[in-house]
Amino acid sequence: MGYRSDVALGIAFPNKAALTAFASAQIVTGTKEMQEAIKQYRVTHMSAGYGESVVLWASFEDIKWYSEYQGVQSNEQILANAKLLDYSTIFIELGEELDDIKYEVDEGSKSDVGILYDCLGISRRIIQPDTSEDITSFVKEN
């Protein structure tokens, strides 16, 4: 079957114009696979405390995230291109094991890294049934 992960990645931009220029460059100059990959991304505006900053991000659930896969290479190249242009980036990968977590943040000088922490992160919680009954009622009925 293979090893699967949940993955999220994001790039912070100081404003919509910077994001638009970056995304357009990926579409115009990128490979066909990169053009397809960037279509899966979303844009989030987080104005509270961040002015005009915006985040370009994508997430993938239950994916085989191996660098030799073309789709993964395309997403990794998009992130690498953002780092080369000195934008802040985040990469999060949660593996199948509880302690298998990759959390990488690169602070670029052209965008506020704080917005990435507020936009993408890891939440840990205990999963429990949606419905249940108290033990006293259960014993009385059975």
Which pLDDT score, from 0 to 100, does residue 2 have?
Answer: 52
| 113: in domain | yes
Per residue in 14-61, pLDDT (tens digit) is 999 999 999 999 999 989 999 999 999 999 987 667 888 999 999 999
Question: Is residue 135 included in any domain, yes or no?
Answer: no
Closest CA to 101 of 1, 3, 7: 7
Indicate the number of domains in the chain: 1
Span 116-141, pLDDT tens digits: 999 999 987 888 887 778 888 889 88
Residue 142 placed within a domain? no
Q: Are 85 and 48 in contact (CB under 8 A)?
A: no
Is residue 60 situated within a structural domain?
Answer: yes
Q: What is the CATH number of the domain that holds 41?
A: 3.30.70
In angstroms, the CA 37 to CA 26 distance is: 10
Look at phi and psi of residue 75 and say left if phi exceeds 0, alpha if psi is from -120 to 50, else beta. Answer: alpha
Mean pLDDT of 85-114: 93
In a domain, 111, yes or no: yes
The rounded distance, in Å, linking the Cα atoms of 80 and 86 is 10
Q: How far is residue 75's CA from residue 116's CA, in Å, rounded to a whole number?
A: 17
pTM to 2 decimals?
A: 0.85
In which domain, by residue range, is 96 found?
Answer: 5-122
